[in-house]
Amino acid sequence: MGWTERQRAMLDEMGVRLWAPPETQTLPAPVDAPHPPAVRGDGAAVAVPRPGGGRPVGVEAMDWPALREAVVNCSACKLCQGRRQTVFGVGHPHAHWMVVGEAPGEQEDRQGEPFVGKSGQLLDNMLRAIGLTRAQAEPAQQVYIANTIKCRPPGNRNPEPEELAQCEPFLIRQVELVKPKIILAMGRFAVQSLLRSNEPIGRLRGRVHRYQGVPLIVTYHPAYLLRNLEDKSRAWDDLCLALQTLKAVDAP
């Protein structure tokens, strides 16, 4: 692959030594566009929702606007009390690639968009290194990014099983609506939710799983990679495996 200067810089930023898997040769050039404006909830002062009263019904048949509305109004668990706003997801509604993370942090809770903090910068670099973006582009290049839960856990604590369970129908429906060709599950909670597995990431990565029939690649969460630089090259391997897998899916 002929790496552009920009790609070299991004890989360098990821801490990845350069090598070129042959499978990446047909990838389009990376798109360098700014983020679209974050989609916010109503932003204004609102009454704090009471948990337990608002488990949405009929999520499995909702279209995008109904699903977004259901998330905005959800009060199925106690996380609704501490959130500034819900964080629905962002990207192409029919993206070929779907990225599933964990939960909104402080920045995401402020801006209403997943992965806009430090780990989001790394995620964007990782995506850009393989020709993908969250900014507006064709469905082959513009990813869809969602979290397993849509509200920020207080103090960025881990999501609790009950919270994951209450939020799961939203993610299931997002996957059904996007119909991605490949899913990247980033980190422990994405894996728990999508694969029902408590195995460590290190044991699940490196092979192709399936979710709703869609090939799924397990990789490290960007926040973990920021703390464990030595695993960045493994994350790069995971991205390459995802590229190869998608190429095989697309092969005539």
Judged by the rule CB under 6 A, the positions of this chain that interact with ligand URA are: 101-105, 108, 114-115, 117, 119, 147, 223
Whose Cβ is closer to ligand URA: residue 62's or residue 151's? 151
Do β-strands 97-101 and 208-211 pair in parallel, antiparallel, or remain unpaired?
Answer: unpaired
For CA atoms 181, 235, 146, 157, the dihedral sign is: positive
Q: Which is nearer to ligand URA, 3 or 224 (CB)?
A: 224
Q: Give the residue nearest to ligand URA (CB).
A: 101
CB of 78 to ligand URA, least distance (A): 19
Give the strand pairing for 208-211 and 214-219: antiparallel
Which residues make beta-bridge pairs with 45? none
CA angle 41–47–52, rounded 5-degree value: 90
**Least distance (Å) from ligand URA to the CB of residue 189?**
8
Kindly state the smallest distance separating residue 200's Cβ from ligand URA, in Å: 17
Q: Which amino acid is at 233?
A: S
- Rg for the chain (alpha carbons), in Å? 18
Nearer CB in complex with ligand URA: 7/14: 14
CA distance 239 to 126: 8
Nearer to ligand URA, 141 or 147 (CB): 147
Q: Residue 7 or residue 223: which is nearer to ligand URA going by CB?
A: 223
Helix, strand, coil content of the chain in percent (nearest 5): 45, 10, 45
Report the nearest approach of ligand URA to the CB of residue 9 (Å).
23
Closest CB to ligand URA among residues 7, 148: 148
Minimum Å gap between C-beta 221 and ligand URA is 6
Considering the complex, what minimum distance in angstroms separates the CB of residue 106 from ligand URA?
9
